Structure 1
């Protein structure tokens, strides 16, 4: 494709593309006439023109000088305007730069322009637009595939009108009034031709249509289903089990705040479990482990209530009486005074477990309650657990079928919990 159309001004963007394809990049210069021996190959700071050296089969070698301030067909969506040749050429020169380096170089260049007393700057072309521009200049995409380069055919009529307006302003009597002389038959033929062109155009969507589609979606009807998916109710085989499963911490009498000693009711300590699927101990198997001393492997379909009770005699806390512990894995419904009753926290070493806790920092959390990490025997303890120090105990259970070893691990856990409770003042 020729860089110029007969009688029309040269297209700087197309000239740049052709010169890149021929391996003859344009030369920055301070004078549009190469015969004046002006300084060429100057820095972008001082250059005022780009000289394109092209070979035409009809006219032979051509030297076309384009002002660097001339606007191109590359229209930036970020700035809402056409980019001048200076910014486009500088973007091409820095095409291999990383984004941060390119932005920094534009800033430094504009500082140099200001120091040199220039009244123009170079525009920082955004990453997506820069990628589109470089791909177009290298010939990897066409006008119709580019999101930011306006088609030359779309601009042809506007450029002809601009040329005619310039001639008319200069008093040229040979201005061709094509539209005025066009008869109805020719006009209809032209409109039909344009209609066929528009029908074959590739429809390009904007940011909103690409991400969200052209149809506005109404999701207000989903609200009525939110309680089903986000609530704490779980399916149960019968109504009694369903009622037990939907019992929350706030309406369960076992989680009332500590009452006065005169009432005769002792506050019940709380043990928090991890809800992570990587945890070996969760609500379905914690009771058999801590109460019976036997580890039961978890099954994906196993359902369990969201609150459990385990009674355990503590010799140094309440001698002669069993202490009832409360097991939960979600403290989102805790009242402030419940946190004073938390005595142990089972963890997998993942800090996201503590995002709804009163103490989200592990160091602060385990200064108030004992941390317990339970892993497989022979596996390495996570570095996060090791980094929490002596406030978190690490125990390991056998992977095999020798479940008689579990009771020894359980007794060790209860011993540490009792020691921590004694240090916290329980039983006094």
Structure 2
């Protein structure tokens, strides 16, 4: 085991900066590749339990610290975007690092940053210094004097406003939620103050507020009116995939990906003799147990305005001819009205014209099929966010 003065954080940083590999061992002593499967972490002659606390605090003013496996997991998944990183952490049951602190902690571990304000001093080293001072009366007095001096300095400290401290602001944004409920969802505002101060059993009397007097914009009125005219069937969102056989997602494999969370090459399904359907219905199973249908098509022939109003997203190949004959043929107009998704291998860059379009990349791992769940989760998160803002009248 590691000696008392050895800190796992300093060892991990040293190994990362010098491109040395730590050894991850499971409970039986076998070497594993993922920290999620490990029980012990070895740094040469020193070893630590996987979840040993480090001296890297979660924030400057926090008493909680990150565990060793959380930091190793960050290094192992540094190439993932924020959404995929968080999702993979949840799947592996490993705590993720705050997105605000993720980059600077990664820079510290890789040596790009020399210091971090939330790295606390080694407590064992502090204790060793005090014990040494106890054996020498002169050193003990000097240690006490130093402690008094530090207290005086701390008493005169003033916290500086930095980029990080601004992001950790303490302002209350409940009024923004109330405003959104009133203007977009058409709900009656619930006043937190009145709810919190109400006595048990007392009736809540709605109080007039400035928010309730704000006129609803004309655009929001039109969105509500649009939703009121649709039947339950006509509120089902539509997803458009390419008809090109070489596309990452087609009508052959989109259902397996979004429902079963597994990517299968559409060419393999085509060559197996499966007949391409004219339309696919994807049944999304939400966390609350609700099942929500989505229609998937690869042709807009015969589309009416009401159909275009239901289009949630378009999977693009990067070729502009894909949009020929559409209501909006120019990508600038198209992606101003619908959500654009560009699926690609996670090791590839956005190619062709798609690099200049207002589309969002959906990264698919070429060989790691267990990562498909994270990609599907990222896709539904994007859809929920887009539909809530641009298609609130649909069932999603």
TM over 0.5: no
Relative to the length of structure 1, the TM-score reads 0.36
Provide TM-score, normalisation by structure 2: 0.39
Higher relative contact order (CA 8 A, sep 6+): 2
